[in-house]
Chain A
């Protein structure tokens, strides 16, 4: 444990960085993914804004980006990072990459959650004279909130995972700490402390998600 005690300040910073990367990218990808997911749901042929071409293009875009392994995505996204963040290293650049990658994953989860909403309530809202955008935001999203929250929780776990991989490109965080101070110095105590910390973060995230979902679903 000597290695750990000597680097406890780095450990603290790493936790802060991991939390920053995870939470910020969660929020950003949550918003982007929600918009993209609603668009996927709404443009599905036969739905509120049914449009075969737009639906096809959006679906293709998501399907192209999503299967790219995150480490490769990190390399591929550098030109965008340079354009938007101005650098390709450091926590900010990595947060941007995570948010972007996660947004596509979120969009599919949002789409799935919304598709499960009873079309009958959409019809009831249409019959009441609501506008299509009003129905999407005022009826479809609230009705699908339970599965949405659970879906977001699922994504959060993936985001924490991505933030650890981001350590490879100097993003900081617990992944970086575990590799630089742990694995590369053969100090496995540090590796295990990092793993345990990540497990705790994931657990807390899952717990909060479940709590909110239970409140929304009233069961």
Chain B
């Protein structure tokens, strides 16, 4: 097991508001980011994920708890030492936050200038980075002349200028269309794979998680309510929040509206069966129903690929006696196949 590059220990962040109740943005979070991985933190707006990521590079100081990055406890550092620590943590933003007063090259050079890198070395590094993100020919353009996707690529180049081992992406694709989103996500994947940079992605889009992350942490009301391998969380979400996100990305389970329509046309009990990467799954499902004498009709579902493994859900209308259907469901469960009755 690789080492943690980020370790959040019982981290809380409260905002005191004069004349109003204190807001708890982050509530007793324990979270590790493993070196070399892409970790996604997903949550709805207001879940505290943007505050969480700002605790990692100490743009915000926690009310309590410890924030350790690359072995250094940021909560004990002086402002001066924090500045040095931040140079080892890249960050990109939802609104890109490029300097409009500087060219593309000037933007990428900024962190190098801050770090006191000599002009010649700076120029070489800027060219190298712009080449990596595919914008070498736009070096002298100004940010307003770029498309959203290009702006974010400049943001990524700027964030990587000082060779940080860790990159924080705060809703980096939320202002982009789906196609550009996929482009930026695949660039982040390259940053991770080719440069070995650990990436922490903050997002509210489960699709982004699916495309880029190795592990995912689900945040709800300031807490990390669930975290684990992306495939595990997608295939067996435990909390309500995680289930909602998985549904939004896979669209394989019928929502309330769809269910109502299905029910109008299909009077039998509706059963959803989880699709996993298990070989022979379909044969087992068919056999379980057939053995119990239950007829089935496939009415909803979807199967997709995630981390090169199969994932999804199939919803069947079952026709047979209640006891027979129960027997079939029991048989499926005995085979380790997850089922859920749609009610």
Contacts and interface: CB of A to CB of B under 8 A. Distances in A.
Interface of A: 118, 120-121, 123-131, 134, 138-139, 142-143, 145, 216, 218
A121 B59 contact: no
A126 B114 contact: no
Given A129-B111, A139-B99, A142-B99, A124 B83 contact: no
Nearest to B106: A142
The CB with the most chain A CB atoms within 10 A, among B57, B95, B97, is that of B97
27 contacts: A120-B96, A121-B99, A121-B100, A123-B59, A123-B93, A123-B97, A124-B91, A124-B99, A125-B99, A125-B114, A127-B57, A127-B59, A127-B89, A128-B110, A128-B111, A128-B158, A129-B84, A129-B115, A129-B162, A130-B110, A130-B114, A131-B83, A134-B114, A142-B99, A142-B101, A143-B99, A216-B101
B97 A130 contact: no
The 3 A-B residue pairs with the shortest CB-CB distance, nearest first, are A120-B97, A142-B101, A129-B87
A25 to B, nearest CB: 28
A126 B86 contact: yes
Contacts of B288: none
Nearest to B85: A129
B86 A143 contact: no
B114 A129 contact: yes
A131 B97 CA distance: 18
Contacts, number: 66
B286 interface: no
Nearest to A141: B101
A128 B93 contact: no
Given A118-B97, A128-B158, 12 more contacts: A120-B93, A121-B100, A127-B89, A127-B159, A129-B83, A129-B84, A130-B83, A130-B110, A131-B83, A134-B114, A139-B99, A145-B101
Contacts of B162: 128-129
A128 B86 contact: yes
B146 to A, nearest CB: 13
Contacts of A131: 83
B85 to A, nearest CB: 8
Given A129-B111, A218-B142, A143 B101 contact: yes
A104 B149 CA distance: 43
A167 to B, nearest CB: 40
B101 A124 contact: no
Contacts of A145: 101
Contacts of B57: 127
B144 interface: yes
A128 B95 CA distance: 16
A127 B91 contact: yes
Given A218-B142, A218-B144, A128 B99 contact: no
Contacts of B84: 129
B98 interface: yes
Contacts of A123: 59, 93, 97
Contacts of A130: 83, 110, 114
Nearest to B99: A121
A170 B156 CA distance: 61
Interface string B41-84: 00000000000000001010000000000000000000000011
Interface string B220-255: 000000000000000000000000000000000000
B83 A121 contact: no
A73 B136 CA distance: 57
A49 to B, nearest CB: 11
A115 to B, nearest CB: 16
B97 A121 contact: yes
A130 B115 CA distance: 8
A56 to B, nearest CB: 15
The CB with the most chain B CB atoms within 10 A, among A127, A130, A131, is that of A127
Interface in B106-134: 110-111, 113-115
A96 to B, nearest CB: 33
Contacts of A118: 95, 97
A35 B160 CA distance: 33
Contacts of B87: 128-129
Contacts of B91: 124, 127
Contacts of B90: 127
Contacts of B95: 118, 120
